[in-house]
Chains A and B, each alone.
Chain A
Amino acid sequence: MKTVKPPLPSADKRWKIIDTKMRKMGYKPHALIEALHAVQESFGFLDTPALMWVAKSLQLPPSKVYGVATFYNFFTLKPQGEHVCVVCLGTACYVKGASKVLSAIEDFAGIQSGETTPDKKLSLLTARCIGACAIAPTIVLDGNVAAQMSPEQAVQKVKESLTHAS
């Protein structure tokens, strides 16, 4: 049976990079998670057209692709804010006051964890454990780990990142 490869969703070059990743894995079903990682890395989140395109490329039912995309915590179907703050809630962080750090940032930003501010400046997330337990409690701001945070220091860090143009 001859299979027809779906066209790239747009002329955006990033789709080509994702397509290459799938091609390297022979467009096999086991390329799904790697493909979704590639989409999220390129575009920041997974929207429906992207999921449909991946489904067609790998010849998988859209339900399966949606199932995988929503099963794993790392994948997000919503666009993230300009800055992303992750508060680690692992055990070591927890016993050293991570929940206080989280509420301080929630109060400061006026959002709950899992939400993005209305001006799309900041997304607040929590992590199960980032494995930096010896320097607990930690937060990860735009990919950078900050060590031994008090609630005040954490809010200060977030404030600083918001005032810096990204």
Chain B
Amino acid sequence: MLLEDLREWADRERAGRKQICIRCCTSAGCQSSQSEEIEKVLEQAVADRNLGDKVEVRRVGCMGFCGQGPVVSVEPEGILYETVTPQNAASIVAGLEGEPVEARKGDLQHPFFTKQVLSVRAHGGRVDPERIEDYIEVGGYQALCRVVNEMTPEQVVEAISKSGLRGRGGAGFPTGLKWATVAKARGEQKYIVCNGDEGDPGAFMDRSVLESDPQSVIEGMAIAGYAIGANQGYIYVRAEYGLAITRLNTAIKLAKRHGLLGEGLFESSFNFNVELRIGAGAFVCGEETALMASIEGKRGQPRPRPPFPAESGLWGCPTLINNVETFANIVPIITKGPEWYSGLGTEKSKGTKVFALTGQVRNNGLVEVPMGITIREIVEEMGGGAPDGAKIKAVQSGGPSGGCIPAALFDTQIDYESLMKVGSIMGSGGMVVMDDSTNMVDVARFYMQFCMEESCGKCIPCRDGTVQMFDLLSKILKGDGTLRDLEALEELCDMVKHCSLCGLGQTAPNPVLSTLRYFRDEYLALLKPETEAAQPAHS
């Protein structure tokens, strides 16, 4: 297959389109609210009204407005219906013939939609993730074809470097630099690994991308394979993401069947295959060395770095490991050019970032925004503020490795450095909004419990430190803590942060540190006076 074949195929698909397209979200969120039934009702309604010649119903991936699901869109009218039910779905089809529609219309002029810049999520809600034809229609695999036939591996690495893309898994390491390192590493066999072990509670960007547009991740991996000289890739997905696993399996099978994965791609000598590996419920496997141990069939325990995976990764071979969202950014960068990408965002943080906006906020869902936007714009304008007149107190970003940012700092702009300066991290993109009913000490304890239970037990600072910190937080929360306990807690935070082996332990104190920094009063209010505590119990 060559570029013209792909283009011809895409044209054929476009020509086969009907005049009106009704798209029904079938991602995990909407599926849980009967979107499968809704899709059937829509199909039936089209058949009943004999509209089959000009109307088609498509199952598509996530449109992002998950909090108001199930969502259905009608093109070219450009209408979005929210909280559709199987009972009122047929009226959407009736609406095409001028009859009244019972389903609620969404406001597409709301900042939730207008402030978004879609790159990673451009195909979400547009393509059927289980039909490769849909992906081809939007230009799928043309980037890989061009890369393989028109660019040298060095040029590809150069393009990614120029785009300024940084790792979307949370740490923000420059992607181009990582690729260049693996490309230079010596070794006959190299591997590509896609980290889809999205373990941060409150984050679901990667699940949405894998469920909605799996082919774009596969194509991104193949481009990476060409750039660094690898012929084998692994996608590691957590077991909790059943629908993503099913769709990835289908996507890999279809890509192989159409010769878009396998031997001699696009009449070149480049071979690339992708296999899926399923996690088994261990948060620590999001750490790259633990993840690779898990792919090798071992307990997911991290090991010290160096050597970094770029030198010695899977089975000791040089390995490029990137997050799902990072790979999903590759095709847009190749297609639209690195200059386009680096034109978005701030000086040091380029491009867009997808956030999962959840918690005590009116509009829940996924938003893809340019870097440099402020937290206030996301939470108050796009999210619509707190529901029911409550007051927003803080936003937690970065999951158990991140921190709580108080409302007073909502003018902070979103980029790797600014978030770190206020005591949080970009993380993978979870953004949980908390209102004034939230007890921040309880939140800190919640995250500490998480880290305590998920500590793999290999290094002592993390294994024992998290237990001690959890106990101290529980004691303080119960009203039994003293100022000395608080001091001990702070000391432990420092020790665990600096002595742990991997990111899990090194960042476990962050939620405590950030709540202590901004909400110290809440801790102090819970403390028992020192004198009272110092008295012996039986005096």
Contacts and interface: CB of A to CB of B under 8 A. Distances in A.
A128 B443 CA distance: 15
Contact of B297 (A30, A91, A128, A143): A30
Given A33-B280, A96-B360, A71 B300 contact: yes
Nearest to A37: B278
A129 B358 CA distance: 13
Contacts of A130: 240
A72 B300 CA distance: 8
A133 B202 contact: yes
A147 interface: yes
Contacts of A77: none
Contact of A33 (B242, B297, B366): B297
B277 A34 contact: yes
A130 B443 CA distance: 19
A36 interface: yes
Nearest to B299: A71
B416 interface: no
A68 B101 CA distance: 54
A135 B280 contact: no
Given A134-B29, A134-B358, A67 B450 contact: no
Contact of B280 (A73, A91, A132, A144): A73
Interface in A123-149: 127-136, 138, 143-147
B282 A73 contact: yes
Most buried by A among B28, B32, B279, B295: B32
A92 B280 contact: no
Interface string B449-487: 010001010000000000000000000000000000000
A53 interface: no
A94 interface: yes
B126 interface: no
A74 B204 contact: no
A147 B28 CA distance: 11
Contacts of A85: none
Contacts of A31: 297
A150 B28 CA distance: 20
Interface string B277-306: 111111100000000001111111000000
Given A92-B202, A128-B283, A30 B33 contact: no
A75 interface: yes
A135 B298 contact: no
Contact of B364 (A67, A74, A134): A134
A32 interface: yes
Given A33-B294, A71-B282, A132 B28 contact: yes
B268 to A, nearest CB: 28
Interface in B438-452: 438, 443, 446-447, 450
B358 A34 contact: no
A135 B29 contact: yes
A89 B400 CA distance: 13
A74 B199 CA distance: 13
Nearest to B244: A131
Contact of B278 (A33, A94, A127, A132): A33
Most buried by A among B69, B199, B299, B454: B299
B403 interface: no
Contacts of B360: 95-96
B278 A129 contact: no
Given A68-B297, A91-B446, A129-B202, A75 B280 contact: yes
Contact of B356 (A68, A89, A134): A134
Contact of A74 (B33, B280, B396): B280
A91 B432 contact: yes
A65 B29 CA distance: 35
B505 interface: no
B428 to A, nearest CB: 11
A94 B239 contact: no
Given A134-B67, A146-B32, A92 B300 contact: no
B29 A147 contact: yes
A89 B359 CA distance: 13
A79 interface: no
B67 A135 contact: yes
A89 B240 CA distance: 13
A29 interface: yes
Contacts of A91: 201-202, 358-359, 396, 399, 430, 432, 446-447
Nearest to A32: B297
A30 B200 contact: no
B198 interface: yes
B32 A147 contact: yes
Given A95-B359, A95-B438, A135 B297 contact: no
Interface in A98-115: none
28 contacts: A28-B297, A29-B296, A34-B278, A36-B280, A37-B239, A68-B298, A72-B279, A72-B299, A72-B300, A73-B282, A74-B239, A89-B201, A91-B201, A91-B202, A91-B396, A91-B447, A94-B446, A128-B199, A128-B283, A128-B450, A130-B240, A131-B241, A132-B28, A133-B203, A134-B67, A135-B364, A136-B364, A145-B28
Given A128-B450, A129-B240, 5 more contacts: A31-B297, A72-B281, A94-B446, A134-B364, A135-B69
